[in-house]
C-alpha cells in the first residue's frame, strides 16, 4: 500500500542553467551544474546553445555530459543567420551573446515542457533581460550567474548613474573605495558601444532575480559583498549576492586527470617546488606577435623556469599559426632546458595546483583569479581587456599579486622584455606575496569545507527551492 506521506515528500529541486558563449562563461557554469547535482542533490538540466563559437566549448560539453550521465542536456539551437537587431561588432563571442538573447523565445516552450517541472532557472548575466521575462511567464524563480568579480558587479550596478565626464580621475561607488577611471573598460565611456548598451539592458533586469551567484568568496571580497548585500551600492536594486566560489573543477570528484596533461605534468614533476612561473592570458586573448616575442625575451631574462600557454587568435578554431612562427627562431631550442611553451588548451587548474608553480602572469580573467586564489599562487597581473583591470585591483587589494599599471590595456603599448623579466623575478622572489598566497589558499578551501560560507550560501538556496516544490 502506498505510504500516505509520499505525496508530501520533499522532492529535490529541478534547476535549468543557461550559459552563454565563451569559456570564461562556460567553465563556471559547468562547475556550478556539477555542484548542484553532486553536493546539492538537485535534478539538473544544462541548456547547451548550439553551435558554439569555440572548439573548446564543444569539447567541454561532450566531456562534461559523458562524465555526468545523470545531468540532462537540453540542446538549444540558435538561429545564427539573422539578427533582428544587427550589431556593429566583430567579436564572435559578443555576436553570439546577442543571438542567444534574441532567440530566448524559442527556449521558452522547451523549458515549460521539462519534467519534473522546473523549480528555478539560473541564467548567464548576458541573457538576463530576455530569460527573466521567460521565467516570469513560466512563474519559475530566476537567478543570475554573474561571471566576474563582486567588484565589477558593484561598478556595473552603478553604471546607469555614473558620471564619466569631468576631470576627476576616479569614479565613486557608494560605500566602497573609489575606482580609478583608467580601470574602467574603455567601452563604458561610449554609451552606444555594443558592450555597454548590452550590459546596461541586462543589468536593468537583475532586480527581477531572486539572487545573483558569484564565483567569489567572503574573505576575498568581503567589503564589496557586504556593501552589495546591504543595498548600499545603489542606483539599482540588486537581489542578494550569493558568493559560491571558488568553484571547484568538475572532474575533481572523479579523480580524473586530463590525458593531454600528462606530458606537461611530467615536466612539472621534475621541477623544484615554487620554481616555475606560469604564463597564460586565458581562453580568448591573443597578443600581437611583437608582444609575444617580448614576453619570450622577458622569460629568458627572468632566469626562471616557465610554463607558457600561447594563443594565436581569439577563436581557437582559427588558431593556425605554428608555435615556432609566433615565438621566433631559436626560442624553443634556447630554452628547452628551462621552460615549456605550448599552444592550445591546457588544464589550467591542474597546472596551478602543481607544487612546482610559484607564480602566475595572468590577464586576470575572473575564473583565473579564483583558480589562483584557490591554490594560493601569487600573481603578476597583466589585465588587457574588459573587466580585467577591475579584477586586478581586487587581486592587489587582497595581497595576492602585483600589477604594473603603466603596461596599459592590451595593445596600448609594447611592453619590453626587460621590464617583463624584471617584474617576473620580483614576483617570484616576493616572500610576502607567497605567505599571503598560502593564507588565501587556506581561506579559499575553508569556504567549501564544513559550514564554510560558500557551502552554506548554496545550501540555503537549494533548501529554499526544496520548500517551494
Total number of residues shown for the chain: 469
> Least distance from C-beta 27 to ligand UDP, angstroms?
4
Single out the residue of 204, 285, 353, 397 in contact with ligand UDP (rule: CB under 6 A).
285
The 3-class SS string of 129-177 reads HHHHHHHHHHCCCEEEEECCCHHHHHHHHHHHHCCCCCCCCEEEECCEE
> Least distance from C-beta 210 to ligand UDP, angstroms?
21
Residue 369 phi/psi, 5-degree rounding, is -60, -45
The answer to whether residue 366 forms part of the interface with ligand UDP (CB under 6 A) is yes
Alpha carbon separation from 174 to 154, 233, 338 (Å, rounded): 9, 5, 48
Q: Is residue 105 among the annotated active site residues?
A: no
Of 124, 316, 375, 385, which residue is the catalytic one?
124
Rounded Cα distance between 17 and 215, Å, is 15
Q: Is residue 124 among the annotated active site residues?
A: yes
**Segment lying near ligand UDP (by CB under 6 A), choices 9-17, 58-66, 255-263, 380-388:** 380-388
> Least distance from C-beta 194 to ligand UDP, angstroms?
7
> Least distance from C-beta 192 to ligand UDP, angstroms?
11
> Is residue 397 exposed (0-12), middle (13-18) or buried (19+ Cβ within 10 Å)?
middle
Count of residues touching ligand UDP (by CB under 6 A): 33
> Is residue 20 exposed (0-12), middle (13-18) or buried (19+ Cβ within 10 Å)?
buried
Could you give the residue ranges of the DSSP H alpha helices within 165-288?
194-203, 222-229, 262-269
Binding marks (x or -) toward ligand UDP, 139..178, rule CB under 6 A? --------xx------------------------------
Binding marks (x or -) toward ligand UDP, 3..32, rule CB under 6 A? -------------------xxxx-x-----
CB-nearer residue toward ligand UDP: 140 or 351? 351
The answer to whether residue 95 forms part of the interface with ligand UDP (CB under 6 A) is no
> Least distance from C-beta 118 to ligand UDP, angstroms?
26
User: How far is the first Cα of the chain from the last one, in angstroms, to the nearest whole number?
Assistant: 24
> Is residue 432 exposed (0-12), middle (13-18) or buried (19+ Cβ within 10 Å)?
exposed
Active site (catalytic) residues: 25, 124
Interface with ligand UDP (CB under 6 A)? 22-25, 27, 91, 93, 147-148, 185-187, 193, 195, 282-285, 309, 314, 345-349, 365-368, 371, 385-387
Amino acid at each position: 500500500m502506498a505510504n500516505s506521506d509520499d505525496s508530501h515528500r520533499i522532492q529535490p529541486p529541478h534547476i535549468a542553467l543557461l550559459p552563454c558563449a565563451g569559456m570564461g562563461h562556460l567553465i563556471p557554469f559547468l562547475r556550478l551544474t556539477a555542484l548542484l547535482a553532486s553536493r546539492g542533490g538537485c535534478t539538473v538540466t544544462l541548456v547547451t546553445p548550439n553551435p558554439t563559437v569555440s572548439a573548446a566549448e564543444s569539447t567541454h560539453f561532450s566531456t562534461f555530459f559523458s562524465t555526468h550521465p545523470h545531468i540532462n542536456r537540453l540542446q538549444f539551437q540558435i538561429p545564427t543567420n539573422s539578427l533582428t537587431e544587427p550589431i556593429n561588432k566583430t567579436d564572435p563571442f559578443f555576436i553570439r551573446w546577442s543571438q542567444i538573447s534574441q532567440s530566448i523565445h524559442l527556449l521558452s516552450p522547451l523549458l515549460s515542457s521539462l519534467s519534473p517541472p522546473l523549480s528555478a532557472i539560473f541564467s548567464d548575466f548576458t541573457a538576463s533581460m530576455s530569460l527573466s521575462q521567460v521565467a516570469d511567464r513560466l512563474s519559475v524563480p530566476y537567478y543570475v550567474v554573474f561571471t566576474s568579480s563582486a567588484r565589477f558587479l558593484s561598478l556595473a550596478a552603478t553604471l546607469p548613474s555614473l558620471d564619466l565626464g569631468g576631470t576627476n580621475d576616479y569614479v565613486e561607488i557608494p560605500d566602497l573605495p573609489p575606482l580609478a577611471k583608467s580601470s574602467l573598460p574603455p567601452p563604458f565611456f561610449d554609451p552606444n558601444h555594443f558592450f555597454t548598451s548590452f550590459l546596461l539592458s541586462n543589468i536593468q533586469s537583475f532586480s527581477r532575480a531572486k539572487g545573483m551567484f558569484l564565483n567569489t568568496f567572503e574573505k576575498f571580497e568581503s567589503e564589496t559583498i557586504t556593501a552589495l548585500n546591504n543595498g548600499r551600492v545603489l542606483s539599482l536594486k540588486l537581489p542578494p549576492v550569493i558568493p559560491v566560489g571558488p568553484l571547484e573543477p568538475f572532474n575533481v570528484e572523479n579523480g580524473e586527470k586530463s590525458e593531454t596533461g600528462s606530458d606537461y605534468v611530467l615536466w612539472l614533476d621534475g621541477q623544484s617546488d615554487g620554481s616555475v612561473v606560469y604564463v597564460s592570458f586565458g581562453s580568448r586573448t591573443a597578443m600581437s606577435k611583437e608582444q609575444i616575442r617580448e614576453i619570450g625575451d622577458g622569460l629568458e631574462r627572468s632566469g626562471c623556469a616557465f610554463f607558457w600557454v600561447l594563443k594565436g587568435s581569439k577563436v581557437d578554431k582559427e588558431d593556425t599559426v605554428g608555435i615556432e612562427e609566433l615565438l621566433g627562431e631559436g626560442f624553443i631550442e634556447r630554452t628547452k632546458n628551462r621552460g615549456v611553451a605550448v599552444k592550445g588548451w591546457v588544464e589550467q587548474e591542474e597546472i596551478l595546483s602543481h607544487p612546482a608553480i610559484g607564480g602566475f602572469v595572468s590577464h586576470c580573467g575572473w575564473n583565473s583569479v579564483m583558480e589562483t586564489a584557490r591554490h594560493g599562487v601569487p600573481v603578476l597581473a597583466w589585465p588587457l581587456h574588459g573587466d580585467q583591470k577591475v579584477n586586478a585591483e581586487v587581486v592587489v587589494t587582497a595581497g595576492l599579486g602585483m600589477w604594473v599599471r603603466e603596461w596599459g590595456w592590451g595593445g596600448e603599448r609594447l611592453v619590453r622584455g626587460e621590464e617583463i623579466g624584471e617584474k617576473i623575478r620580483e614576483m617570484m622572489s616576493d616572500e610576502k606575496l607567497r605567505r599571503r598566497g598560502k593564507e588565501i589558499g587556506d581561506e579559499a578551501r575553508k569556504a567549501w569545507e564544513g559550514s564554510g560560507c560558500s557551502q552554506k550560501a548554496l545550501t540555503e538556496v537549494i533548501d529554499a527551492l526544496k520548500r517551494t516544490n
